[in-house]
Chain A
Amino acid sequence: MTATLLRSLAEIVGPAHCLGGADRAPYVVDGRTPCGVVLPGSADEVARVVRAAAAVGVPVVPWGGGSQMSRGTPPRDGALVVGLRRLGRVLEHEPGDLTATAEAGITLDAFQAALGTGGQWLPLDPPAPGTATLGGVLAANAAGPRRQGYGTARDLVIGMRVVAADGQLIRAGGKVVKNVAGYDLVKLYIGSLGTLGIIVDATLKLRPRPEAEGACWATFATLDAAAGAAGVLAGSELGPVALALLDARAADACAPVVGLPAAAAPAVLVAFDGLARTVAWEGEEAARRLRAAGARAVEGLDAGGTARALGAVRETRRLLASPVAIATVGVLPADVGAYLGAAQTTAQAGGFELAAVAHAGHGLVTLVLAPGGAPRPAAATAAVLAAWRDAARARGGHLAVEWAPLGVRAACPVWDPPGPGVDLMRGLKARLDPLGVLNPGRFVGGI
């Protein structure tokens, strides 16, 4: 059956774009080997590929840059990987409208470079922009530190086209910046991890490149003091574009990247952009408030330093040399300091080292765990994750295991136990993908 499928796929996309045998190696996730890898060259080819796979009951796994493939429950063995990297064009960019449409397989860096010629950019800064693709970023709802000022994909995408489970091409939203015609399907597809459709292109709101960027890097004696200072800035009129809280270990790892001496002290990174005059004033005012909130030292960063600092806090996987687990947590912004303190205690008690970065204004925390000394068994890692999850849920929050070896994920589920909306979510999946063709089993509640 698989051989028949691969033959028909080769007819759709051409044999050169159909990978089998050893060529599948880069597409193995969690030891699950796909039956094949197909690289369609157009939205229409994606649609035909999905139809062909659905017809023989082979599930498909959409694949952008592969940067987020370790997210979620492992894929099925023998599924078909549909790689989007040949869909890499900018289809439209009208600077006067501040909008652009691009195919899903373009990398974020390539997209930004194309927009830069018009003096504009997409203010979305997820990790690994050199490999992450537009479609993958939207499917995973990935974001970075600038979410404080610009929001996330749901605030920036105004339209997209997706290939549905039955191979039909569906348009969500449109090409204008305000649109309430029909249901907002864009929101449904963003963050759905490829379980409802394969995004083939997207239209986005852009921003003019700011005239200036600047930031302050402030270090504190205690995490509580740093969290308190972040809270002061989050609730202020200064309107930072990024507001990151780093624990001592994360700050120690990031400081050299920024060009500052390594120092194991909790830190706050607050960044601004806009007119040069305004950014300079904001930087001074933020520094004054950070000192008033107890900062031991405050460094002002120029545009280059700001970009390096935001890059460092974005690439959380690089915070520790050999992590054994990465978790993403959401709690109320005002609870971030207390939550991080408790997470640190749990990690230390288990013989681990923790590095943590929070988007403080939005209450979103990335926790990176590594053994404090000798390697620790998977069960010990899972126990820390489970305790972190309990602590987050006790505060009304949530935890997802963003990355961990399979053994750890076998002992600690990737997702929280499903919440009250799960019946609706399962209902949507059942209606929109009744045969379970699209990335089955990877998402919340077994979707």
Chain B
Amino acid sequence: MSSRPGLDRARLRSALQAIVGPDGVLTEPDELLVYESDGLTIFRATADAVAFPRSTAEVAACVRLANVEGLPFVARGAGTGLAGGCLPSEGGLVIALTRMARILEVDYANQIAVVEPGLVNLHLSQALGPRGFYYAPDPSSQLACTIGGNVANNSGGPHTLKYGVTTNHVLGLEVVLPDGEVVWLGGKVRDPQGYDLVGLFVGSEGTFGIVTKVVVRIVRRPPAVRTLLAVFDQLDQASQTVAAITARGLTPAAIEMIDQLTIQAVEDAFGAGYPRDAAAALLIELDGLDVGLDEEAAHVVAACRESGAREVRLARNESERQLLWKGRKHAFGAYGRIAPAYMVMDGVIPRTRLPEVLRNIERIVTTHALRVGNVFHAGDGNLHPNILYDPRKPGEEERVLAAGAEIMRACVDVGGTISGEHGIGLEKRDFMPWIFSEADLATMAAIKAVFNPTGRCNPGKIFPTRKSCAPGEIAYQPHPLEASGLIQRL
């Protein structure tokens, strides 16, 4: 996106520098490139400036300046989002929170911590580790993603099956509202009076304001863990096992499914010890007190065997456990060995519909002459089909988008939804009418107008751009440098 007409970039730069210091502003086109995309690189948009505030007051001042200048603005954490939610889709100001990354307070007696939004998710658990505590939500990107970004997207992760997603762990938020006012929603004490504004704010994808402090619950790390890998010759068997475990009254901490294509990619990349010929594997983790875990593990093994598992392995020590998890957590990276690019999908279905939907996904992708790898949170029905493709091949990206839309449709058709943890952002806004009526969307728009009456805070996200949308209708907008032939997408 080109610069806004009439914008005096030098003046904007110095005004921002007056707020955040001389080292906290980017306005040069080559600097801005880094901030034009998130983890879903298919969408790009260039900001007019990126500012790096160091305090709530500086965030508020940036927001007020944007209002005075009539600029749209959007908060950004680590940029690991997967729906384009933090993109400056109409230009304007990116407010990057990476310089606000402190743990302000840890209160073990009350099991809460107060942190800044730019804190990396894993850094919080690492800081709490010596006292035996941790922060439970664990997105796969937790090495990089920030707590503020987690709040915006209501992020999940493998262990949310047992422990809940971000919204179940946030008690209070200090936010800068889109008009620059600073307000606390909730706090350290439970059940504050009035509407649950914290619950409403979490997952609002940066459209209600900018989070500047977060009060989170911290919990004791379970003293014992058992990690199993169940190997299947048929995908359906693995799918059926998920319901079989549930039917036995067990609540594992995580049930992750890895399909054959993904197993082979992982083994090619770094060898997690998954059997290459397996149709699918389930990575199942139980945690809690040591006393009951072997009995629980025995129940899980029995459920896997009854569903046709050819082998169930139990990690014998922490290094074996870490290796099994490495295969799961680094699966996305491993796709890089077998395809130049992949598009991560995120949909949710009722757990009992896994077998038919996985077959359906395979059929859809094959119809579009593409390949798909599945690695996902099977325990709560949260699918992540990854469509592999080569962006250099003409027409392939369009086929990916068309297949992706059909997969989302397949999720909706069995009573599911279009996002379990990545958010709507830019990517899925035109799918919203598949699950919400006009009245539902009008209610959401009315709520947005309360927080964000000018619409200047993160415009263009969540809400559909047109009344209806056929699958695959999302338009790819080439980057200016790409259009001019200076760069190409790899």
Contacts and interface: CB of A to CB of B under 8 A. Distances in A.
Contacts of B289: 237-239, 278, 281-282
Nearest to A195: B195
B104 interface: no
Nearest to B436: A182
Interface residues on B, range: 35 or more
Contacts of A443: 194
B187 A396 contact: yes
Nearest to B133: A235
B427 to A, nearest CB: 12
B164 A419 contact: no
B153 interface: yes
B307 to A, nearest CB: 13
Contact of B154 (A151, A169, A180): A180
Interface in B441-457: 441, 443-444, 446-451
B318 interface: no
B165 A178 contact: yes
Interface stretch (B25-33, B269-277, B413-421): B413-421
Contacts of A7: none
B247 interface: yes
A333 B292 contact: no
Given A277-B292, A282-B289, A176 B187 contact: no
B183 interface: yes
Given A234-B111, A237-B222, A332-B188, A171 B437 contact: yes
Contacts of B288: 239, 274, 278
A96 interface: yes
B362 interface: no
Given A171-B436, A278-B292, A191 B196 contact: yes
Nearest to A328: B191
A9 interface: no
Contacts of A424: 183, 185, 195, 197, 450-451
Nearest to A118: B247
B168 interface: yes
B243 interface: yes
B447 A188 contact: yes
B392 interface: no
Nearest to A209: B249
A342 interface: no
A207 B246 CA distance: 9
Contacts of A415: 193
A362 to B, nearest CB: 5
B339 interface: no
B352 interface: yes
Given A179-B419, A237-B220, A420 B435 contact: no
A428 B446 CA distance: 8
A168 interface: yes
Contacts of B39: none
Interface in A150-191: 151-152, 154-155, 164, 168-172, 174-188, 190-191
A182 B424 contact: yes
Count chain A CB atoms within 10 A of each CB in B198, B291, B424 and give the residue with the most: B291
Interface string B215-246: 00000111100000000000000000001001
Contacts of A237: 132, 220-223, 289
Interface stretch (B4-12, B259-267, B343-351, B399-407): B343-351
A236 interface: yes
A238 to B, nearest CB: 7
A297 interface: no
Contacts of A362: 190-191
Interface string B376-397: 0100111000000000000000
Contacts of B443: 164, 170, 185, 432
B146 interface: no
B249 A184 contact: no
Interface string B92-134: 0000000000000001111100000000000000000000100
A394 B382 CA distance: 44
B142 interface: no
Contacts of A397: 189
Given A168-B439, A400-B193, A421-B194, A178 B447 contact: no
Contact of B446 (A169, A231, A432): A432
Contacts of B296: 275
A215 to B, nearest CB: 16
A97 interface: yes
Nearest to B223: A237
B350 A180 contact: no
B336 to A, nearest CB: 27
Count chain B CB atoms within 10 A of each CB in A331, A332, A421 and give the residue with the most: A421
Given A362-B190, A419-B193, A180 B419 contact: yes
Nearest to B186: A421
A325 to B, nearest CB: 17
A100 B193 CA distance: 29
A424 to B, nearest CB: 6
Nearest to A445: B194
B154 to A, nearest CB: 5
B195 A188 contact: yes
B376 to A, nearest CB: 11
5 contacts: A178-B380, A178-B421, A182-B432, A187-B202, A419-B184
The 7 closest A-B pairs by CB, nearest first: A187-B199, A208-B249, A278-B292, A178-B420, A427-B450, A96-B352, A444-B194
Interface of B: 107-111, 132, 153-154, 156, 160, 164-165, 167-168, 183-185, 187-200, 202-204, 220-223, 243, 246-251, 288-289, 291-292, 295-296, 348-352, 377, 380-382, 415-424, 428, 432, 435-437, 439-441, 443-444, 446-451, 462
Given A98-B351, A175-B416, A334-B110, 15 more contacts: A94-B352, A141-B191, A178-B382, A179-B348, A182-B440, A184-B203, A231-B109, A278-B288, A281-B289, A332-B189, A334-B107, A422-B194, A424-B195, A425-B194, A428-B447
